Copies of this chain bind each other. A is one copy, B any other.
Amino acid sequence: MTGAGRPWPGRLSLNQATVKKLSLDEAVGLCARHDIPAIGLWREPVAEAGLAHAAAAIRAAGLHVSSLCRGGFFTHADPAARAAAIADNQAAIAEAAELGTDTLVLVSGGLVPGSRDLPLARRMVADAIGELVPAAQEHGVRLAIEALHPMFAADRCVITSLGEALDLALQFPADAVGVVVDTYHVWWDAALFAGIARAGERIASYQVCDWVLPLPADVLLGRGHVGDGCIDFPPISAAVAAAGYTGYVEVEIFNETVWNAPPDETAAMVGARFPLAAPG
């Protein structure tokens, strides 16, 4: 997270996925041109740029890194695949530290291949996180458990609500494990506000984008700019602030049309819409 003390308008972070077609250097340049103070990174474009180069470029630009996406995908029947996932997450923790962020976003993984056992998959996620806690503490990186929308429960993430993510996080030390509040994934939940209040300092990341209808053929790509859809952002942002969150607000939009738009237009739109997601 970081970003403490800044007023909301200065707490905007552009998640790299919003401008997916840009290289890391191009995304860094875009943030600089649009006075966006922070960026949320993804491992793949960081790897393409080279980790050391990426870290240096970001530092040279004076950008903060609000989070690294992503670790996770812990649900494997094959012990070798599970061990590989743990090793990959350990590498992701080290990368986060080198990039200067204290937050690694985790997407847990779906059902275990060949299995319909949801509780089993959830136990595997908990076990894996437990195994990663020492590395997280050693590197000063918090594992941020992200609840994904329940429509992704089978194939991407068995953690389907903020309350569930929080119950999982609370099994581990607060400096090592937190939660993500992502409006797209949790806006529908009648227990959302209770969950945010209960989460308090466990909120490690706040991500925003809108729920737009109709859902596209690929439901992964149905997200919209803040204000283009159904989500009432101000009460959610106010609750996140009231819970004590002082970090950046990441705008993360998976949307083919947004990806095909000129990146400077996208950045301008993200900036223009950002006040809608700020509390008052």
Chain A residues at the B interface, C-beta cutoff of 8 Å = 111, 116-118, 122, 149-151, 153-155, 158, 160-161, 163-164, 167, 187-191, 211, 213, 215, 217, 219, 229-232
Contact = CB atoms under 8 A, between A and B. Distances in A.
B151 A164 contact: no
Contacts of A211: 154
B150 A231 contact: no
Contacts of A231: 116
8 contacts: A116-B231, A118-B188, A122-B190, A149-B151, A150-B189, A154-B188, A158-B188, A163-B191
A59 to B, nearest CB: 39
A151 B154 contact: no
Given A111-B230, A118-B232, 8 more contacts: A118-B187, A149-B150, A151-B219, A154-B211, A161-B189, A163-B190, A163-B191, A215-B219
A164 B150 contact: no
B188 A232 contact: no
What 9 pairs between A and B have smallest CB-CB spacing?
A153-B188, A116-B232, A154-B230, A150-B188, A217-B217, A164-B190, A151-B151, A160-B188, A150-B150
Contact of A160 (B190, B217, B232): B190
Nearest to A154: B230
Contacts of A111: 230
A116 B229 CA distance: 9
A219 B149 CA distance: 14
B116 A155 contact: no
